[in-house]
């Protein structure tokens, strides 16, 4: 009976995805695919780590590479974590345990630091003065980017795969392979509350104000909760989907989710219902460019801009709400 149930759900998922809207526009930014990427809040720019061509910074409106960003001269860096500040003026790229801070206007390198372990995830605040790094050794490190100094360290029991920061950088979230997500008071260095899910947590998000949080376990739980009280607001009925990225809208009325299968889902947080579903279109039907997992996405109110694992920027028209 379990096999029949799984097969039925699998085919139902395929039917739903086949009915989902596709992109209105596609642009290629990496010929062999992406390892990492982050889109600016306004959806205008992106920092990416490509599979063979290293790191770079892009104007997404013009589909123009502005800067090549690599950690060693003459070498293409394998950038597995990257982030852009909320104001769009700074960005960071991470290779193993090395983090480089960049000026997005000039393209120049500003600072270089080494973490105690490999950097699995990174988030930076509005002005790029603070970073929250998730490390392979289970440490979540809150870091002063201007002084080059650790402010606070928090501990998980396994790799910290995903991080998020409120706009002011004072509330953080971490998700770990130890099945827990933690809400962090980054002003006082304390854990506010935590959620224990039933599998490894690869994706977390926090709203701009820091009031709402999202976490999802691999192919299992997914939920939104109040960061102050720890009270669950909305629990997703989710068993077979891997959410790869989550993003709260600036007004905190909507949550956009991207999946490993290339689906994009927009939720209305008041009604707790899906607004719409879209489906990324792979660059090729087969081979290395056929992957379409969502690496990052931004919902602007009119469009959704997404980076896909096959090296594409895809634009989706959003309903006027």
Specify the pLDDT at position 55.
Answer: 97
Task: Give per-residue pLDDT as tens, 21-63.
Answer: 999 999 999 998 999 999 999 999 999 999 989 999 999 999 9
Distance CA 314, CA 74 (A): 30
Q: Which residue has the tokens 């480089």?
A: 100
Count of all residues that appear for the chain in the document: 321
Specify the pLDDT at position 124.
Answer: 96
Distance CA 85, CA 92 (A): 9
For 12-105, strand residue ranges (E) read: 25-28, 34-39, 45-50, 55-59, 64-69, 81-84, 90-95, 98-103
Specify the pLDDT at position 282.
Answer: 84
Concatenated DSSP letters of 56-73: EEEETTTTEEEEEE-SST
Given 3.40.50.10140, 2.120.10.90, 2.40.170.20, 2.130.10.10, which CATH number is that of 2-317?
2.130.10.10
Contact 294, 264 (CB under 8 A): yes
Number of H helices, E strands in the chain: 1, 28
Other residues' Cβ atoms within 10 Å of the Cβ of residue 223: 18
Contact 170, 161 (CB under 8 A): no
- Could you tell me how far CA 126 lies from the centroid of its own chain? 16
Task: Give per-residue pLDDT as tens, 205-230.
Answer: 999 999 999 999 988 889 999 999 99
Q: What's the Cα-to-Cα distance from 295 to each of 194, 199, 243, 308, rounded to whole Å?
A: 25, 21, 10, 5
Specify the pLDDT at position 241.
Answer: 85
Query: 167 CB contacts (<8 Å, ≥6 apart)?
Result: 86, 125, 126, 208, 209, 210
Specify the pLDDT at position 267.
Answer: 96
| Predicted model pTM | 0.91
Structure tokens at 98: 């090395």
Specify the pLDDT at position 285.
Answer: 61
Specify the pLDDT at position 240.
Answer: 78
Among candidate residues 135, 139, 141, 100, the one with its CA nearest the CA of residue 120? 135
For 186-293, strand residue ranges (E) read: 190-196, 201-206, 212-217, 222-226, 232-235, 243-248, 254-259, 263-268, 273-279
Specify the pLDDT at position 175.
Answer: 98
Determine phi and psi for 309, rounding to 5 degrees: -65, -20
Positions of the chain with pLDDT under 70: 1-19, 238-239, 284-291
């Amino acid at each position: 009976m379990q096999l029949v149930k799984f097969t039925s759900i699998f085919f139902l998922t395929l039917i739903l995805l086949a009915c989902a809207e596709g992109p209105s526009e596609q642009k290629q930014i990496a010929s062999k695919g992406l390892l990492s990427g982050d889109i600016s809040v306004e959806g205008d720019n992106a920092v990416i780590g490509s599979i063979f061509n290293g790191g770079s910074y892009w104007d997404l409106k013009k589909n123009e590479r502005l800067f090549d960003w690599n950690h060693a001269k003459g070498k293409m860096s394998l950038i597995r974590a990257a982030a852009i500040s909320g104001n769009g003026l700074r960005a960071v790229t991470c290779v193993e345990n090395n983090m480089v801070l960049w000026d997005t206007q000039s393209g120049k390198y500003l600072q270089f630091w080494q973490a105690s372990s490999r950097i699995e995830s990174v988030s930076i605040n509005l002005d790029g003065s603070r970073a929250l790094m998730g490390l392979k050794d289970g440490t979540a490190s809150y870091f002063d980017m201007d002084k080059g100094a650790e402010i606070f360290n928090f501990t998980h029991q396994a790799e910290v795969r995903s991080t998020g920061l409120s706009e002011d950088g004072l509330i953080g979230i971490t998700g770990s392979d130890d099945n827990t997500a933690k809400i962090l008071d980054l002003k006082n260095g304390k854990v506010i509350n935590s959620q224990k899910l039933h599998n490894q947590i690869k994706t977390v998000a926090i709203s701009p104000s820091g009031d709402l949080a999202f976490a999802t376990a691999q192919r299992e739980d997914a939920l939104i909760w109040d960061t102050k009280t720890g009270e669950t607001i909305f629990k997703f009925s989710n068993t077979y989907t891997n959410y790869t990225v989550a993003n709260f809208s600036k007004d905190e009325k909507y949550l956009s989710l991207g999946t490993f299968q290339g689906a994009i889902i927009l939720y209305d947080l008041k009604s707790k219902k899906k607004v719409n579903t879209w489906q990324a279109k792979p660059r090729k039907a087969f081979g290395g460019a056929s992957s379409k997992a969502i690496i990052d996405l931004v919902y602007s109110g009119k469009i959704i801009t997404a980076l896909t694992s096959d090296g594409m920027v895809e634009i989706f028209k959003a309903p006027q709400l």
